[in-house]
Amino acid sequence: MNVRELPRIIDLSCVKAQSTLQERELMVRLAKEHNFVCCFSMPCFTEWLVNELKDCPQTVVGAPVGFPSGADLTSTKVQTALVQQQLGCQEFDMVINVGALKDKNYKMVQDDIMAVREAVAGKIMKVILEVPYLSEYEICKGAEIVAKCGATFVKTGTGWGPTPTTVEHIKLLKSVVGNSCKIKAAGGVRTLRQIEEMIDAGCERFGIGVNSTISIMKEAGIISE
């Protein structure tokens, strides 16, 4: 991997409950300096983020949908996606209904995804399984549904889960989706080695918090100590 290309495969994120203005400002500065592919804040800060990045055409703004539980009403998810699209978001990261998946209510999971997919038709959509809460079978079934719905990416997690995404998760997802959709890893990606191993396993995009991204960029020699 050419480490200089790292910013084009990392979505910078400030999507924790405790994310501060200082962190968001740092995210914007990093995006402008290194042309990161996408930035995410929580929905209440989306308008601010779009305005801050209006002169940075290389970086698009992403919209969290259903963060972090995925248990919102489908109509709420659709409205959240539509409002953020109107504000200028070009990518949409939606959390599935995790409980419905675990209940084997696959129609509810699929209908939920499709409603948001139709609302943002033509835009990049990443569907989050939240793998820390799922069995291997549930991960496979969820990935199968995501691919069937025509999502651009199947994504491992929100970063709010109790355990990190692993290389084994990426390999499992790749075995299910093949080339029918791409894979995004998020939650616990902290080192350049992890990124390289996940790329080898089939991952094409990463969601990483600002501080961890800075650490990885230093490790790669892109940012000086």
Active site annotation includes 155: yes
Exposed/middle/buried for 5, CB within 10 Å: 0-12, 13-18, 19+?
Answer: exposed
Cβ partners under 8 Å of residue 73, min gap 6 = none
Active site annotation includes 72: no
Catalytic site residue from 77, 141, 182, 184: 184
Residue 148 near residue 173 (C-beta atoms within 8 A): no
Helix-then-strand count for the chain, H and E: 9, 8
Q: How many residues does the chain have?
A: 225
Q: How far is CA 46 from CA 6, 129, 157, 219, in A?
A: 24, 23, 20, 30
Catalytic site residue from 77, 126, 155, 182: 155
Rounded to whole angstroms, the Cα distance separating 148 from 157 reads 19
Catalytic site residue from 11, 72, 93, 112: 93
Active site annotation includes 16: no
Residues noted as catalytic: 93, 155, 184
